[in-house]
A = this chain, B = another copy of it.
């Protein structure tokens, strides 16, 4: 079997990516990065998802980006916006996060002798982060092929972003077919320790709208204080 490193945050998108990579026949090495995010529920979800979706191994690597600050997602002094998705780059953007996560995945891939890295970025129903765009993934792939032994030995390393051009609804339908249990995933920017979602942050809103638009029951476990109303 061909080995792949799959970035697994514990959210809806990366769980779907792991299921896709497994379906494509890869032996999957799931990688989560603890970068100083506000809550650990996402990482706990990642651990369970790695097991239930058939990853061969799962590692959690720590890189504490909260020492730099610069994002509401890692700085507890800053509020998570809950008024709806707005144009531009939001305060939840974590500078260089995907680059750091892909770089760590690159290290593991090279050690494993793997030429395939999967990441669940999406440029349709997303928050406007620069490192979720197709041109970014292409540029990272080009760099990765020069950075490693692959570039010298003539082998080829690919960054797979199978969700890039899917809507959130399409992602949810795809995962449903592949048997992903979305009640195990945590997308909320401010989930509590039990993984209960707020329902109103950008990530919750995009996810809710996805279930609505897919016409699939939303199995997300919400906080008791959240009264579900249409997302859009």
Contact = CB atoms under 8 A, between A and B. Distances in A.
A59 interface: yes
B143 A96 contact: no
A139 B146 contact: yes
Given A63-B61, A139-B146, A143-B136, A106 B111 contact: no
Given A89-B149, A146-B135, A146-B136, A95 B68 contact: no
Contacts of A63: 61-63, 104
Contacts of A139: 139, 142-143, 146-147
A133 interface: yes
Interface in A51-82: 59, 61-65, 67-70
A1 interface: no
10 contacts: A59-B67, A62-B62, A94-B107, A95-B106, A96-B103, A96-B147, A130-B149, A136-B147, A139-B147, A140-B147
Interface of A: 59, 61-65, 67-70, 89, 93-100, 103-104, 106-108, 110-111, 130-131, 133, 135-136, 139-140, 142-144, 146-149, 151-152
Query: Considering the complex of A and B, which 3 residue pairs feature the smallest CB-CB distances, nearest first?
Result: A70-B111, A95-B110, A96-B107
